[in-house]
Structure 1
Amino acid sequence: MTDARFPERYLSDRRVLRLEPDVFRGWVLATAWSVSNRTDGIVLDDDLPLLPFMPENGPMTLVERGLWSQTEKGWRIEDFEQTQTSKHDLEVLDNMRRAQRQKKARQRATKSSGPSFSDVPGDSTGGPYPGTSRGRVPEDKTGQERTGRDEGKWFDEETGEITDPAPSVQASWGARSCAVCGAEIPGYSPVPWCANQDDEHNRYRTAAA
């Protein structure tokens, strides 16, 4: 927004105080019009019909009072450079505001692209591997702790019998636990057991084959 100014000294300026009310109103509005259109106080002959409330005798009266001067193509508002903001200064202010808007837009974009955090188990960005959370066994995407093998579910300790089919191999980026003894095995292993060759491991391999 661009505002025209009415200096305090005009309140005691004889040139202004002696203006007829309609000419005074036309002069004030013509000054505001020039600031808004950035003409630096220049009013062309073709612009006169565009000036709000400018009486027909207004331009010549303003010239007689020393508030306007006549040019080859129109009129010039006297004291404009001393009392109003020039076109050049307004363009400088526009560029500064544009630079500030662009700077703030870049700052907002940088903040919005930063890391996000979640409290959902297994969705922590601070976990050692994708799909894991702090304080849990890798590959435990449900947030429940694992003990390696659940004998009560699919392995009978007394008979050595496999009571349930072997669980399917889950894809994981990091280390996993052996389905028999709970030892750590590489995440890229195609089978869910370690390389131990004891009876329990061999029975599990035979059942899963």
Structure 2
Amino acid sequence: MTDARLPSRWMADRRFARLAPEHFVSYTWALMYAVESGTDGRLEQGDLEVILRYRGDSTEVLIAAGLFGRDDDGALQILDYPSTQSTAAEVKAADDRRVKERLRKREQRGRRRQPGTTEGDSDATPPAAEPTWDVASIPDVDSWEAAGIDTTTF
């Protein structure tokens, strides 16, 4: 899972402070889209059309604020992206590490469960014994009430 980050320093950044709320919403949704889609902050016109809560009139406002730029192909680039978000390559590398670690742990657990293996046998915890109940030793409600125990709260 990848999350878009909104650094706290943006609270004092005039570029954001001067934005109308609807343009800030457009910016944050575009940022989340770029992170989730692995575009490294590059947004094409087709992307803008599918971003939830993105207003078309925000594009020029965000460019004027210095938050978006245009590349040679006319696509938008979120200018602060490299300094605030993980790149697609970094996200993929982190995901790959998590998968590798998960598989390694699964393999370790599998070795511990195999009979006759020595690795991990000392770490194995024997299963807990099932509790046994002697029904005859459990007092009935009448004897509790006779002893003055309030059974209405049970």
- TM-score scaled by structure 2? 0.72
Q: For residue 114 of structure 1, report the CA deviation from its aligned partner.
A: 2.4
Equivalence for 1:47: 47
Q: For residue 51 of structure 1, report the CA deviation from its aligned partner.
A: 1.1
| 4+ residue runs over 3 A deviation | none
Equivalence for 1:23: 23
Equivalence for 2:97: 96
CA distance in 2, matches of 1:114, 1:40: 49
Q: For residue 111 of structure 1, report the CA deviation from its aligned partner.
A: 1.1
Q: Which has the higher helix share?
A: 2
For residue 19 of structure 2, give the secondary structure of its aligned residue in structure 1: coil
CA distance in 1, matches of 2:76, 2:69: 6
CA distance in 1, matches of 2:96, 2:47: 28
CA distance in 2, matches of 1:42, 1:56: 16
CA distance in 2, matches of 1:7, 1:111: 44
Higher radius of gyration, 1 or 2: 1
Q: For residue 109 of structure 1, report the CA deviation from its aligned partner.
A: 1.4
Aligned-residue Cα RMSD (Å) equals 1.3
- TM-score scaled by structure 1? 0.54
Which stretches in structure 1 are left out of the alignment for 5+ residues?
117-209
2:65 counterpart letter in structure 1: R
Deviations along 1:79-105, one digit per CA (max 9) or x if unpaired, are 100000111111110111011011011
- Kindly indicate whether structure 1 or structure 2 has the higher relative contact order, using CA contacts under 8 Å at least 6 residues apart: 2
Question: In the comparison of the two structures, how many residue pairs are matched?
Answer: 116
CA distance in 2, matches of 1:16, 1:78: 13
Q: For residue 47 of structure 1, report the CA deviation from its aligned partner.
A: 0.7
For residue 69 of structure 1, give the secondary structure of its aligned residue in structure 2: strand
Equivalence for 1:66: 66
User: What percentage of aligned pairs have identical amino acids?
Assistant: 29
For residue 27 of structure 2, give the secondary structure of its aligned residue in structure 1: helix
1:11 counterpart letter in structure 2: M
1:34 counterpart letter in structure 2: A
2:11 counterpart letter in structure 1: L
1:35 counterpart letter in structure 2: V
Deviations along 1:139-165, one digit per CA (max 9) or x if unpaired, are xxxxxxxxxxxxxxxxxxxxxxxxxxx
For residue 19 of structure 1, give the secondary structure of its aligned residue in structure 2: coil
